[in-house]
Structure 1
């Protein structure tokens, strides 16, 4: 068994992921479910032979030094793969994500039309939240490719590793991979603002320095995209502030209120369509005048309520998204209720009952 044969099997069976671990046969994730290959369990020698051949000498040194290595791999005639090789119980394991051969459109991804508004901004910060594997990178790639098709802009991406490879259309796109094109994320951030970008993708916003760089870039006229791990759009404000010391919160609130344009949060759900076994549920929070005021005044607890009540600006909280997908017969009630932040409110919404300040309507 060779690793490229497993990559080919991923493409053949439309698997999103491949897991390699000692004591198990190769495991594919197909339509969201883990499926074991019908073969013998792998030994430590098997995983070593499968995985070390993918690594350069520098990557092997990184793996030995820190216990993991991220990189991308292209296989001619098969596609691109995002690989994470790591140590587990003293042996090598891997998680491999298959990257689509081309960047899909909003329609192909079944994204709500409101996502397209994010490509129209000239300046500001757009954040995408969600857990690993929820399709954040694919949605952002679709937005960037929309800009690429419609605007003459210089787009710079900082990625670890590069997933989708863009083809210049109206825009000029430079993609920089950490470890390959630039030594580390901090250096990439520092140099990006000096490279005359109009649009920037900064990847995962995991620390205060990254957020401050993103906000500064947004303040100075750039459109900046980033991802963040958060449970919902309304909770993202608190998640950002947690990265900073309390004495900086007022400054960050002001910057967010004036520069944040939209916060999305995405989950992948089981679909009722067998041809498309998964469908994204995308919570959309545009920074409306009311939400801007709440951010400035520190009324974070009221942001979720303002998001739920918005009907004019394209905002949609998870319960509204789930109710809509259920009415469109794209998901089952069981699927909707399983991930709903407020299942009882969702049940009422599905029955046409809404809650206002005055009670049940």
Structure 2
């Protein structure tokens, strides 16, 4: 098996079928999710050796080494001429599994997402903390990307993002965009966030608030005169406040 070619062929099929996700699982054929339903794309089930080889083919040696140590890995890939994809590699029942999700490489406009017009003003404020709250797949990262894109088009600032992984890749417009991926551009969240203020930012995007330390950094950034943008997994504003208080 040419693992890299197999992955690329599956990704092309995924895009052709307008699928949201690709699943690589031992004991089951490669499968894609279209309109919320999982559909196998082959008659042949994958062996544990196959899934491990396919996962290894899309990871660099550092990522593979970290994965072997933790049994978890999150990153993004951009195969030339194909697209950009968010990747989660994990272990289940002692076997390697992979889920890959399509990332829209075009930075969405706020009007295309039907976001409230007031968010244009929010995107341009000098300081504060903005957190998008919702469940998985509800558009938190996409909404943040549209706000960063709007600021990038309309202000001459330095915008820093710290993400795991980087989803939307922004080009420099009026602003300088610095995007750092945890595990690739920096060892960990703590190191990246600790040094962010030394990089003279105007806007700081934290991909996700996951713990108390990250929350404290987000609040500190806002209190020191920066606009901080982030996301939080919660089903409502009340649940979000409860999570923030009880981190």
Common topology (TM > 0.5): yes
Superposed, 1:158-169 pairs within 5 Å as 158-169=162-173
**1:77 alignment partner, one of 81, 98, 101:** 81
**Following the alignment from structure 2 to structure 1, what is the Cα–Cα distance between the partners of residues 172 and 19?**
28
Q: Quote how far apart the aligned CAs of 1:71 are.
A: 1.6
Q: Which runs of 5+ in 1 are unaligned?
A: 244-361
Q: Secondary structure at the match of 1:209?
A: helix
Higher relative contact order (CA 8 A, sep 6+): 2
For the pair 1:105 / 2:120, whether they are aligned, the reply is: no
Superposed, 1:260-299 pairs within 5 Å as none
**Following the alignment from structure 2 to structure 1, what is the Cα–Cα distance between the partners of residues 52 and 209?**
33
For the pair 1:7 / 2:7, whether they are aligned, the reply is: no
Q: Secondary structure at the match of 1:106?
A: coil
2:138 is matched with 134
**Following the alignment from structure 1 to structure 2, what is the Cα–Cα distance between the partners of residues 36 and 107?**
36
Q: Secondary structure at the match of 1:235?
A: helix
For the pair 1:116 / 2:109, whether they are aligned, the reply is: no
Superposed, 1:95-244 pairs within 5 Å as 95-243=99-247
Alpha-carbon spacing, 1:38–1:57, altered in 2? closer, same or farther (3 Å): closer
Superposed, 1:294-333 pairs within 5 Å as none
Q: Quote how far apart the aligned CAs of 1:149 are.
A: 0.6
Contact 2:63 2:183 survives alignment (8 Å): no
Alpha-carbon spacing, 1:112–1:49, altered in 2? closer, same or farther (3 Å): same
**Following the alignment from structure 1 to structure 2, what is the Cα–Cα distance between the partners of residues 215 and 94?**
34
2:37 is matched with 33
Q: CA RMSD in A?
A: 1.5
Q: Which runs of 5+ in 2 are unaligned?
A: none
**Following the alignment from structure 2 to structure 1, what is the Cα–Cα distance between the partners of residues 137 and 27?**
24
**1:52 alignment partner, one of 49, 56, 62:** 56
Per-residue CA deviations over 1:261-294 (Å, capped at 9, x if unaligned) read xxxxxxxxxxxxxxxxxxxxxxxxxxxxxxxxxx
Q: Quote how far apart the aligned CAs of 1:110 are.
A: 3.5
**Following the alignment from structure 2 to structure 1, what is the Cα–Cα distance between the partners of residues 207 and 181?**
11
Q: Normalised by the size of structure 2, how large is the TM-score? A: 0.93
